[in-house]
Structure formats: C-alpha cells, structure tokens
Amino acid sequence: MIERNSFFSNLTSGYLFPEINKRRRAFASENPDAGLISLGIGNTTEPLTPHIVDALAAQVARLGTKDGYSGYGDEAGLSTLRDKIAEVLYENRISPDEVFVSDGAKCDIGRIQYLFGSRVSVAVQDPAYPVYVDGSVMIGAASAMIPGTTNYAGITYMPCTRENSFFPDTALIPENSLVYFCSPNNPTGEVATREQLTVLVKTAREKGSIIIFDSAYAAFIRDPSLPRSIFEIDGARECAIEVGSFSKPVGFTGVRLGWTIVPKELAFADGTPVIQDWNRLFSTIFNGASNIAQAGGLASLEPAGLVETRETIDYYLENARIIRDALQGPNFGRMGVEVYGGDNAPYVWVRFPGKKSWDIFDAILEKCHVVCTPGAGFGPAGESYIRFSSFGHRDDILEAAQRLSRLEL
C-alpha cells in the first residue's frame, strides 16, 4: 500500500469555507423556512455583463466552425490578453511576456508553493486567506501546529490588528522567506498605503525575501492615492510576484480566469531567474486557460467592458456601505462593536470585543438567519472578528441589514 503524504496529517481541521457550508446546510435542514441569507463566502452574485457575455458567446460560436476552431494555445495565455493586462491594468509597468494567464489566483498560489517547495520559510499576514497557510502545510514548508496554539510551526504570523492599522511589523519577516501579502486585504477589507508598501518592499529586499502579492481585489479601490499593484513601488520588480484575478471584479468565480506577474529581474540565490523556473513549471503542469474564458477576460478590458465592470463593482461597494451602516447602528454600539474595511474592498471586518468568532457566527446564524465568516478561521489575530461579504443581491443585502439591526447578544 502507498503511504499517505505525511504533510497532510499536519493539517488540524477542514478548510474554513466547507466548514461554514456544513453548518449552513445543517441549520437550513433543521429550519427550512428560515430564509437564510449568505454574507459569508465571497462568491459573486450578479449576472455577467452584456459586452462580456457577447464575447463569450462569440468565442463559443467560433469554436463551432471549421475556420474558427482552436485547440491548445500558448500555456501562458493569448498574446492579445497578455498585452491588454500589461497595458490596462499595469499601465505598461510590466511586460506582456511577464504575464501568465491562468485559471485563477488561488490555483496560481498553489503553483507558486510548488515552485518554491518545502525548504522555504513562510510569513503571512494574520489574519490571512487560508490557502497561504494550508497550502504551505500541504507542500511541507510548514509542519504540525505548535501545542497550545493555533499556529503552524514554520510559519511566521504577522499580526494585523486595529492597534497597527492592520499593517504588520515588517521586522518579523524572516530572511530568505516567502511573504504572503494581500491588498485590498481578505479578510479585513483594509488597503495598504503607498508608504506602507514601500516599507514592505524595502524590508523584503534587505532580507532576501520574496513578496507574493495578492491583488485579487485591486479593482475595488476607489481612493486614487492607494496603490493597486506592488509594481507601483520602486524596487518591487526585484522582490515580488503578483497574482491577480477576474473572479470578483468581472464575476468569473465560476468561469475561472486569473494571472500571475513574474518580473524578469526576480532571481533565486544562485542567480537563476525565477521566471525561467516558473515558465517550466507552468508549461509542464498547466495547458492554458480556457480560450472561451480568455475571450471574456479580453472583453472586460475593452472600453465597454471596463465601464460595465466598474458599474458591477460600484454595486457591490454600495452593498458594503449598507452592511457597514447596519453594523454601526445603536444595537451594535451598545455591544462596543468596531467596524473596519468596506470602503475600497467588498469585505467588512467587525470586532466583537470579548467574544469568540465561532460563537458570534452561530448567534448571527440562529438569531438573524444570516451566514457570515468567523474571523478566527483566518488566523489567531482574527479571533473576536467576523467578516461580512458584500457579494449579494440588493434585496438580500437590505433584508440582512434589517435583521442585523435587531440583533442583541
């Protein structure tokens, strides 16, 4: 018999979001008339926009013709899409041949973990998107949880709290490490300033570390002073990889399309360009993103697509405002609740002083019939917090806000 991969035995519990779904299904089964509203998992809800739908349909139609059919393409993506990503999203700060189009940022993070392997130190914002941590354990870069804690050995947790404006102490970054950093942040909804990212880049260069910058929510930034990419910061090309996604801004959570930027200047300790090994890995284990999805992604970056996408994002940001307003109501004021995020991100991050995240999750589920996400699932510093997602139909958002306005704990 083949032995189990021992790294998986170091994982202590199920992945966060399936656990939320498990509890939601159990509650719905016992309370079929509850009218559950989900503000938990960050899954888009609004229809794809007309310009993008037309492009997807046209590509499907082309595939049904002798002259229009195409099979495998360039593993790194359509040249037209790579060009457009570099031009529209990065203002040509990066070169099209540094763009690798994929089936999503989450998948690319897994490939990045595969690229760097098990013999690398890892640092994460705390709280953090669970794939940074769980994937590191699965690949062997981290090991079993330290007894008496909720921290995995081999991972440096950098607390991001209200006390430090949700930006970590970069002095905690180990030398020669991978540093996972997400802005706008999931789950806190906070966005790093230009000054903060300058400190992050400076520290990474001094310590020989590489930043894995997750910009999946960059399109939600409305404040022009806030950077949307790590490559807006001088020196980042020598110390960063960036992953991006069409999922949340365009509604491609089910269509699946993203990208990774690997600058040519980025190198391993022996001088080998990281892009060389990344290209080898990418072309070996990935056959390229769907040409149908890529047609939709290209359309989203055309003038009509950009207008439609902005309207969709504005819709979700208005949802976030409605949620924030409800959570800043008098009943929450009496509980001492603090509300963060939601201005330049689709997530609202809420602190319930002195309470456990899963207890709050259960109470909101039982009393309001609203599903949220417990902050403790994102790391130790997420305890006492709850994340609310603004992805939802407006009627559901308004109803959830009404229910929350009556909550008493």
Can you give the pTM of this predicted structure?
A: 0.96
Residue 128 neighbours by CB distance under 10 Å: 26
Q: How confident is the model at residue 409 (pLDDT cuts 50, 70, 90)?
A: confident
Predicted pLDDT of residue 12:
84
Q: How far apart are CA 346 and CA 392, in angstroms?
A: 10
Q: pLDDT (tens digit, 9 = 90+) per residue, 54-65?
A: 999 999 999 999
Does the pLDDT value for residue 194 go beyond 80? yes
**Token pair recorded at residue 372:** 């949220």
Does the pLDDT value for residue 279 go beyond 90? yes
**Mean pLDDT over the full length of the chain:** 97
Predicted pLDDT of residue 59:
98
DSSP 219: G
CA dihedral (135, 139, 141, 145) positive or negative: positive
3-state secondary structure of 251: helix
Does the fold of domain 52-302 match that of domain 6-48+305-404? Answer: no
Query: Domain 52-302, CATH 3.30.70.580 — does that match?
Result: no
Taking CA 239 as the corner, what is the angle to CA 256 and CA 269, rounded to the nearest 5 degrees?
Answer: 110
Bond preceding residue 127 cis, omega within 30 of 0: yes
Predicted pLDDT of residue 32:
93
Q: What type of residue is 283?
A: S
Q: pLDDT (tens digit, 9 = 90+) per residue, 204-246?
A: 999 999 999 999 999 999 999 999 999 999 999 999 999 999 9
Q: What are the start-end ranges of the H helices in 64-129? A: 79-84, 105-116
Task: Tell me the chain's radius of gyration from C-alpha atoms.
Answer: 21
Rounded to an integer, the average pLDDT of 157-182 is 98
Contact, 306 vs 209, CB < 8 A? no
- Residue pointed to by tokens 């041949």: 97
Q: Which residue in 120, 142, 131 sits closest to 274, CA to CA?
A: 120
Q: Where are the domains of the chain?
A: 6-48+305-404, 52-302
Q: How far apart are CA 337 and CA 349, in angstroms?
A: 10
β partners of residue 121 = 177
Q: pLDDT (tens digit, 9 = 90+) per residue, 314-340?
A: 999 999 999 999 999 999 999 999 999
Q: How far apart are CA 328 and CA 342, in angstroms?
A: 13
Bond preceding residue 159 cis, omega within 30 of 0: no
Q: How far apart are CA 264 and CA 100, in angstroms?
A: 13
DSSP 49: P
Backbone angles phi, psi at 159, to 5 degrees: -55, 135
Give me the CATH code for the 6-48+305-404 domain, please: 3.90.1150.10
Q: How far apart are CA 153 and CA 243, in angstroms?
A: 26
- Give the DSSP letter string of 307-364: HHHHHHHHHHHHHHHHHHHHHTSHHHHHTT-EEEE-SSSSEEEEE-TT--HHHHHHHH
Does the pLDDT value for residue 15 go beyond 80? no
Percent of the chain with pLDDT over 70: 100
